[in-house]
Amino acid sequence: MTPRIRHPYLDHPGPIPFAHRGGAADGLENTMLQFRRAVDAGYRYLETDVHCTADGKLVALHDSTLDRVTDGGGLIADLPWSDVQHARVAGSEPVPLFEDLLEAFPEARWNVDVKAEPALGPLLELIERTGCWDRICVGSFSEARVVRAQRLAGPRLATSYGTKGVLDLRLRSWGVPVGVRRSAVAAQVPESQSGIPVVDRRFVRTAHARGLQVHVWTVNDPDRMHRLLDLGVDGIMTDHIDTLRKVLEDRGTWF
């Protein structure tokens, strides 16, 4: 049974398609251009990551450094925005400010992975200032970070589980009597971790019984997408946005 909608962020008529970093398969992950491509392809839900520069600017980038995906280098936390803005993803596209992404795509909803503690305060301040509580779900591998976000923002903010919350939910699905945080609205998980399956029918059923949606990352193969949807997952994050759209269209659940 699909859980009732606990937060306006999750108000979508079918399984939620997330464009992971805008659709990272094209090599222009987390760029304005790639998010535009996803939105033009019909995606309403976009996934990104945020870090904070040395002078407090919130940028959309997965890594803590510029080295892997840009022609620049150095730790973002050590660099001012005046340096970061000159770096180019794949040598061509600038690193965007998250605030600019919010403004550029006013109808989009964002799944935001807060990669480092210094980014949390600026993100919550931005959400408060722009009033976009219904458009953002905050996640992190750090359970303490998402708990802190929830404590600071209250029920206005949608959050997913961190690693500990997911582990507790997995244990509960196996019958281990552990408590799980009730303020989250979703469990966002990989299919498996270290060779151990995470997402199966029991896990989905346990999450739904606690009013949680299950979103799975990062799934690029159409057969795996179909298998997960057959299990009843509520969302899929993908680098291959055309593939996921085709799968959902074939199932009659692309909206």
Is 242 within a domain?
Answer: yes
Is 139 within a domain?
Answer: yes
The CB density around residue 55, as the number of other CB atoms within 10 Å, is 11
Mean pLDDT (whole number) for 241-251:
98
Is 232 within a domain?
Answer: yes
Catalytic: which of 7, 20, 208, 215? 20
Total domains present in the chain? 1
pLDDT tens digits along 133-191:
999 999 999 999 999 999 999 999 999 999 999 999 999 999 999 988 889 999 999 99
Is 142 within a domain?
Answer: yes
Is 12 one of the annotated active-site residues of the chain? no
pLDDT tens digits along 68-110:
999 999 999 999 999 999 999 999 999 999 999 999 999 999 9
- Listed in sequence order, the residues at least 6 apart from 123 whose beta carbon sits closer than 8 Å to its beta carbon are 50, 58, 98, 112, 114, 138, 149
- Taking the C-alpha atoms of residue 166 and residue 79, their distance in angstroms, rounded to an integer, is 33
Residue entry with tokens 């992950």: 29
Is 74 within a domain?
Answer: yes
Is 9 within a domain?
Answer: no
pLDDT tens digits along 191-222:
998 888 899 999 999 999 999 999 999 999 99
Can you give the CATH number for the domain in which 59 is found? 3.20.20.190
For 8, half-sphere exposure in the C-beta direction (CA atoms, 13 angstrom radius) is 10
Catalytic: which of 7, 12, 51, 62? 62
- Taking the C-alpha atoms of residue 105 and residue 22, their distance in angstroms, rounded to an integer, is 12
For residue 70, the 8-state DSSP code is B
pLDDT tens digits along 114-130:
999 999 999 999 999 99
- Taking the C-alpha atoms of residue 231 and residue 233, their distance in angstroms, rounded to an integer, is 6
Given a cut of 80, whether residue 4 has pLDDT beyond it is no
Is 4 within a domain?
Answer: no
As given in the structure block, the two tokens for residue 153 are: 């923002």
**Res 2: pLDDT:** 66
Is 5 within a domain?
Answer: no
Domain around 207: 14-250
DSSP helix/strand/coil, 112: strand
Given a cut of 80, whether residue 9 has pLDDT beyond it is yes
Cβ-count burial 85-118 (b if 16+ within 10 Å, e if not): bebbbeeebbbbbbbebbeebeebbbbbbbbbeb
**Res 1: pLDDT:** 61
Is 86 one of the annotated active-site residues of the chain? no
**Res 6: pLDDT:** 81
